[in-house]
Structure 1
């Protein structure tokens, strides 16, 4: 059930993103030829008011197509309702609408969390910091840490509880690049003494592990809808800053951070784990993935919304569209890159699943 919930959320976020493009176009009277979830051959389709709604075979995203892209379209090239014949600001709204839809959805989900689950009020903390995930090949894994371990001591000092303990531990790790730190971890009834040596990422230590407070998050009822909205504003802003910062670090230090990039398999695995935890976990997972989709699509890369926006900006600066041959080459290169990257990530993430590792004897 957890996997199904995660898959449903991921599919729903893709639908919301593409719906943003679709409704921004139709609201302005711009012709749309198809609304597709996935790529490749059509599995299911339905025609409605001249638009093809389709589910396709390769579940790696989706797209909204326009008659402008179809050389065999019976619609005249000078039709004023074609996207390419609309003013720049109308086309810019269509391109930006997918990102805006994901950001709006994330905010609405966090408002819903405040109204349904409540406002975060800390943790019923017990001493220690919980290791919720470990990246293979990085210092945490090399030290012997495993998901589910509880770090209770570092560098000869006991670790307290709650979010403050996580923040203090993270700061100590960040300030100790390439310095060996003795730590004490508990795994079930075992007490382990391990040695952790953070990598040096531009002068900042990192270990490749996800850390969280050891305990259960406490929620209290929102005093009013306004309080839930204010909390959602803060959480959305925080998640957006952290996500954008993460992508910036990836782009500026790709060699050091590429191993931390995850694909759809890892996302579904994480969502399934959160679904089993219940409470506000799925709300936060939905908001976080929606914001990640928004930031990812805003990057100025071919085939992504950001890449389309770059072409539109260049058209505005030149006063006329770029040559069609250049635009096609730009988009096709992006398609090959994104599909290739997705396949690599799927293989990598699948090989790291516990069941596959067990099958391989690791």
Structure 2
């Protein structure tokens, strides 16, 4: 059930993202020819009022298509309702609407939780391990996703974000040094030894850490409490997501190993879903914000790439040649699909069931 919930949330977030583009276009009277979830061959296809709706074979995202991009379209290139013939501002609004939709959905999810379900109580003591990288210090020492770290070298970590930061600081300051970690695995406590490897002068263990949420909630104490929790949680997640993508450029070697494909994202969702409604909503908000930040990057095929092309057109005072735009988008598609397939293969091979088979 946790797996199904995780996949459902991911599919809904992609749907909301594409709906943002779709609504921004149709509400301005701009012609839309297709609305698709996924890429590749269409598994289900239905035409309604001139728009072809489809679910496709590769669940790696989605897209809204316009007659402007279709060579076989019978609509005149001079039609004022084509996206390419609309003012720059309207086109930028259509392109950015997916990102806006994802940010709005994340905020509403957190606000809805606080209003109708409750606000998560203070986290339990310790730090939760939500993922470990193969053949890295954490995995080699026996740490697994779901383990709770209580103390390091006999010093309790405390709870909340401060506990996570204390553990990160200790690891960073201990490259090549063996540290003693007290962990709790499903109620069974134990001590393990772990040696962070040195990377760019700091220690690293190859594990993804999270505040140790216990899943319990309390009723909100009025609107002030609701909006304080919603805004603080939203901007905390947004800030950390931006920092994560920023580190791809400042420390690509290390951060690229932490990139997650659909398989790892679904696995993370299943783990958080096991913490109850609070965990599932946190997953939805986190992934929705990630989709927004990722799509804002000025790369081919992403919303940020198209946004950049329109801005360049505005600065030039004339459209970018179609051949250059086509090359830009096609190269982005090939790169995106290639990276996605590599991540799927890597993440699938690291699933526990495959690791058990490999170790037999």
- TM bucket (normalised to shorter chain) is over 0.9
- Contact persistence 1:161–1:213 (CA under 8 A): no
Query: In the alignment, does 2:167 pair up with 1:174?
Result: no
- Contact persistence 2:120–2:278 (CA under 8 A): no
- Contact persistence 2:215–2:276 (CA under 8 A): no
Q: Between 134-143 and 104-113, report the one with greater CA deviation.
A: 134-143
Query: In the alignment, does 2:278 pair up with 1:297?
Result: no
Aligned to 1:320: 318
Give CA deviations for 1:307-335 in whole Å, capped at 9, x if unaligned: 10111111111110111000000000000
Structure 2: gaps of 5 or more residues: none
Cα distance in 1 for partners of 2:213, 2:282 equals: 17
Q: Over aligned residue pairs, what C-alpha RMSD do you find?
A: 2.0
Q: CA deviation at 1:45?
A: 1.7
Structure 2 residue corresponding to 1:276, chosen from 262, 274, 277: 274
Cα distance in 2 for partners of 1:62, 1:214 equals: 33
Distance of aligned partners of 1:331 and 1:29 in 2 relative to their CA distance in 1, 3 Å threshold: same
Q: CA deviation at 1:227?
A: 2.6
Q: CA deviation at 1:6?
A: 0.8
- Matched residue of 1:41: which SS? strand
Cα distance in 1 for partners of 2:166, 2:39 equals: 45
Aligned to 1:142: 140
- Contact persistence 1:161–1:214 (CA under 8 A): no
- Contact persistence 1:183–1:196 (CA under 8 A): no
- Matched residue of 1:131: which SS? strand
Query: In the alignment, does 2:353 pair up with 1:355?
Result: yes
Q: How many pairs does the alignment contain? A: 358
Structure 1: gaps of 5 or more residues: none
Q: CA deviation at 1:239?
A: 0.6
Cα distance in 2 for partners of 1:313, 1:283 equals: 35
Q: CA deviation at 1:212?
A: 4.0
Give CA deviations for 1:263-282 in whole Å, capped at 9, x if unaligned: 00011111112222213010
Cα distance in 1 for partners of 2:213, 2:297 equals: 37
Q: CA deviation at 1:230?
A: 2.7
Aligned to 1:112: 112
Aligned to 1:66: 66
Give the TM-score of the pair, scaled to structure 2.
Answer: 0.93
Distance of aligned partners of 1:224 and 1:88 in 2 relative to their CA distance in 1, 3 Å threshold: same
Q: CA deviation at 1:106?
A: 0.3
Q: CA deviation at 1:242?
A: 0.3
Distance of aligned partners of 1:142 and 1:312 in 2 relative to their CA distance in 1, 3 Å threshold: same
- Contact persistence 1:300–1:310 (CA under 8 A): yes
- Contact persistence 1:129–1:159 (CA under 8 A): no
Aligned to 1:265: 263
- Contact persistence 1:162–1:215 (CA under 8 A): no
Query: In the alignment, does 2:167 pair up with 1:158?
Result: no
Distance of aligned partners of 1:279 and 1:47 in 2 relative to their CA distance in 1, 3 Å threshold: closer
Aligned to 1:346: 344
Cα distance in 2 for partners of 1:292, 1:326 equals: 29
Q: Between 344-353 and 161-170, report the one with greater CA deviation.
A: 161-170
- Contact persistence 2:138–2:194 (CA under 8 A): no
Distance of aligned partners of 1:115 and 1:338 in 2 relative to their CA distance in 1, 3 Å threshold: same
Q: CA deviation at 1:189?
A: 4.5
- Matched residue of 2:319: which SS? coil
- Matched residue of 2:134: which SS? coil
Q: CA deviation at 1:172?
A: 1.7
Aligned to 1:28: 28
- Contact persistence 2:309–2:320 (CA under 8 A): yes
Structure 2 residue corresponding to 1:309, chosen from 303, 307, 310: 307
Q: CA deviation at 1:233?
A: 1.3
- Matched residue of 2:32: which SS? coil
Give CA deviations for 1:57-106 in whole Å, capped at 9, x if unaligned: 22111111111011121111111110000111110000000000000000
Cα distance in 2 for partners of 1:200, 1:137 equals: 15
Q: CA deviation at 1:192?
A: 3.1
Q: Between 85-94 and 191-200, report the one with greater CA deviation.
A: 191-200
